[in-house]
Amino acid sequence: MASMGDTRPALRFVSPTASRELALIAAIIIVSVIFASASPYFLTVNNLVQTMRAGLELAIISAGMTLVIIMGAIDVSVGGILAVSAIVIGKAYQAGLPVYIVTPAGLMVGTALGAFNGFITAKLKVPPIISTLGSMYIFSAIMFLVIGGAWISGLPGTLSPLINGWVGFVPAAALVIGAVYLLAWVVLRKLSFGSHIYAIGCDEHSARLVGINVDRTKIMTYALLGFLTGLAALLYVARLRNVEINIGTTIALEAIAATILGGTNIRGGVGSLLGTLLGVAFIRIMQNGLVLMGVSSLWETVIIGSLLIVVLTGDALRNRNNARAI
């Protein structure tokens, strides 16, 4: 960091989120040591792989959420997209359709619902929190009408090797997460589309003035989040082999929490996929470790919420003198 008064450009790129990533890694190591000393079961391969499998859907959705939040927007309807996609997948399986038709169908449903959010936000100029709040109502209405209060159960686990399988010494779930984050990273950092996302998050008006097609970028980013949520729905069905009525009720809040914990600025323009992945890992490790220590799972939300407040307060105090942060 340059000292006060030194206006020369920095000699090397300083990542605005690197300190957060390091802090999260340190936090993960600290809580892991605490949990490992409290429960001998915590640091077993079996437990860690189970924790990762349980965090698969959250990790995938959070990658898309990071892009949306970097763009200065938000999506609280991903739980609804997850539910509707999972129901379409479940009904398609029940109708006897093969997996090579069900898979693209599930992905397409997710993408379409995401694009719907993007359309309302970009074209109808509804603020993202309101548009996705409204679409969450609509998606849950669709879910209740289709599912009618009963679970869809007894579904085939054709895709479950993607979750439970092993490729050599590497769990397949890790490869899926790696592939999704690689895709998101390429989109965000290697394509001009990703630069457009950052530009809109920094200053939407200026982005429009330099000729970026803001509306199209917004719709495509929301559609990408929808696509990833559809993928998460496929894996959800493969993992649990049923669709519960309370599917996806907390996933939107957890994904937002993971993204913010990971150093992405809620006002847009700054963000890190690595930080989000670490945030997801931190949340799931905390949940797993607390259960192993015998703490009621009801305390989870209190702990996640308190962590969010601490992180946001820290950010606020650090950015006190930064005009852009206010």
Residues within the interface to other proteins (CB under 8 A): 74, 120, 124-127, 129-131, 133-138, 140-145, 148, 253, 256-257, 260, 266-267, 296, 298-306, 308-309, 312-313, 315-317, 326
Residues 255, 244: Cα–Cα separation, whole Å: 20
Between 172 and 204, name the residue whose CB sits nearer to other proteins.
204
Residues 32, 205: Cα–Cα separation, whole Å: 45
Between 2 and 129, name the residue whose CB sits nearer to other proteins.
129
Residues 59, 178: Cα–Cα separation, whole Å: 10
Between 245 and 292, name the residue whose CB sits nearer to other proteins.
245
Minimum distance of other proteins from residue 302's CB (angstroms): 4
Minimum distance of other proteins from residue 78's CB (angstroms): 14
Q: What tokens appear for 138 in the block?
A: 């609509």
Minimum distance of other proteins from residue 325's CB (angstroms): 8
Residues 110, 223: Cα–Cα separation, whole Å: 8
Between 32 and 319, name the residue whose CB sits nearer to other proteins.
319
Minimum distance of other proteins from residue 27's CB (angstroms): 17
Alpha carbons within 13 A on the beta-carbon side of 172:
11
Minimum distance of other proteins from residue 236's CB (angstroms): 21
Between 41 and 137, name the residue whose CB sits nearer to other proteins.
137
Give the residue among 160, 164, 67, 84 at the shortest CA–CA distance from 118: 67
3-state secondary structure of 208: helix
